[in-house]
Amino acid sequence: MSRIKEFNLPDLGEGLTEGEILAWLVKVGDDIELNQPIVEVETAKAAVEIPAKWAGRVQAIFHPEGATVEVGSPIIAIDTDPNAGPIEESTTGAPAAALPTPSAASLAAVEVAPEEGMVEPGLIGGVAPGGRTAVLVGYGPRNAPAKRRPRKGGVPAQAAAAPAAPVQAAPAPAPVAPVSPVPAVSGNGRATGPVLAKPPVRKLAKDLGVDLATLTGSGPLGSITREDVQRAASAPATAEPLTVAAPATAAASFGADREQRIPVKGVRKLTAENMSRSAFTAPHVTEFLTVDVTRAMKALDRLRERREWRDVRVSPLLLVAKSVLLAVKRHPMVNSTWAGDEIVVKEYVNLGIAAATERGLIVPNIKDAGRLSLRELADAMTGLVLTAKTGKTSPADMSGGTLTITNVGVFGVDTGTPILPPGESAILAFGAVREMPWVHKGKVKPRLVTTLGLSFDHRIIDGELGSKFLRDVGDFLADPEAALLAWT
């Protein structure tokens, strides 16, 4: 059995396919223990520390920090018996540094891929390095001239004929330099023939606002390369002969130095995929309700003053969560999932709380939140939010949600039209609590008011059910003490 063991990146939950290495917690040569954290990986859901499967000594690290690695790929090699002496070269799984050096003969038999844009003139099936015949896998040699469909608009005759031009017989084959095409030039110095450039180069030129017709290509057959485009984009503008034309407003163009390109990966990638899938799968309906929450805010103040609650983080979101849990008991269909030919109504509530983190939006959930007391619910919410802020939320804490609350009020927003997390049938947006003029007991008085927004899956929840559920949440927030007496 080999003493060198390669540790593969594991699937950290819900079929994840890749992860980004955020930080290595060990280095080559370190002695490690079983289950010692060795690497911090960001999956599509959270940053997770992965423990070692074996004790031993780190022999090799295969990927640097910042690399994205597919699940199942080796990330580290561990010598499980470092005191057994030096590692033999024949040991299976030895690091790349211990592998034998390839011979000169084997290197000579390796074909080196040509640089981007290089075109080798001659015949398909011509002589390749090492004296072999260059063919595609699964096809035999074909001693016929290479054919290429002519470009639309035609190509200069000398360019089209150059690759197939006969070469005078010689004692030994010698490389033939391709003849560069000579494009037709107009009076203003611009090429009037077709511009040779690959699609990625054309897209780059369009993004940078570069006119390909004004460039002289440095690539094969006079084709324009990425370097030509980038050089033209960064070069100062040169004066050109003025041409009298009708007045027109030139569109402003900006260089790439004034743009920022952010890779879509990790939490942001998962959020985009989930929101797109949900928005175009579940028919969304959103209803709004404005509520006077003055009594609820006073109840929170009295709760904070109680001795057993003085060390507990009490916020309006706590009462919103409690109101949702009580309303679900009165309307169980809201806590359900569309499963194609059936609706799954769940008797437990895994209450999701949307949290904004540095890596993006995540929605951890409190498992079976309906069974918790108000104090237990407060502690669970505090721990959930603090863990999310530090980026330590585990994939298990973000799996299996059944109903979600998003607190947009912390950003000073009145409400919104939230998109359902996949697999859930309802999500509640809780807006900012503001002091506003409100009719109270027949008089206009300043009151504390908030607006709720409920989005729901119209395949499961019709307008009546959604309205009753939202109305119950509002009734609790308007007078929590009376609602508790009436419903429990």
> pLDDT averaged over consecutive 10-residue blocks of the chain (488 residues)?
85 70 91 91 75 91 89 90 72 42 45 43 44 42 46 45 44 47 48 67 79 80 80 65 50 72 71 69 88 96 91 93 96 93 94 84 91 94 87 83 94 91 93 95 95 94 95 96 91
Where would I find the H helices in 334-449? 374-389
Closest Cα to residue 313, out of 221, 392, 381, 408? Answer: 381
What pLDDT score does 385 carry? 85
Residues 65 and 21 sit within 8 Å (Cβ to Cβ): yes
pLDDT at 170: 44
Token pair recorded at residue 163: 């690759």
pLDDT score, position 121: 44
**CA–CA separation, 379 and 396 (whole Å):** 19
pLDDT number for residue 247: 52
The single-letter DSSP state of residue 307 is G
CB 80 within 8 A of CB 93: no
- The answer to whether residues 470 and 451 touch, using CB atoms and an 8 Å cutoff, is no
Measured CA angle at 282 (ends 280, 286), to 5 deg? 105
pLDDT at 371: 95
**Parallel, antiparallel or unpaired: strands 56-61 and 47-51:** unpaired
- Does residue 355 contact residue 267 with C-beta atoms inside 8 Å? no
pTM, two decimals, is 0.55
Residues with catalytic function: 458
- Amino acid 267: pLDDT: 62
The rounded Cα 254 to chain-centroid distance in angstroms is: 27
> CB 255: neighbour CB atoms within 10 A?
13
Nearest to 440 by CA among 302, 293, 289: 293
DSSP single-letter state for residue 185: B
For 305, the 3-state DSSP assignment is: helix
**Residue at token pair 């007496």:** 485
213 burial level (CB within 10 Å; 0-12, 13-18, 19+): middle
Cα(427)–Cα(420) distance, integer angstroms: 6
CB burial of 374-386 (b: ≥16 within 10 Å; e: otherwise) equals: beebbebbeebbe
How far apart are the C-alpha atoms of 69 and 75, rounded to whole Å? 8
Which H or E element spans position 420? none
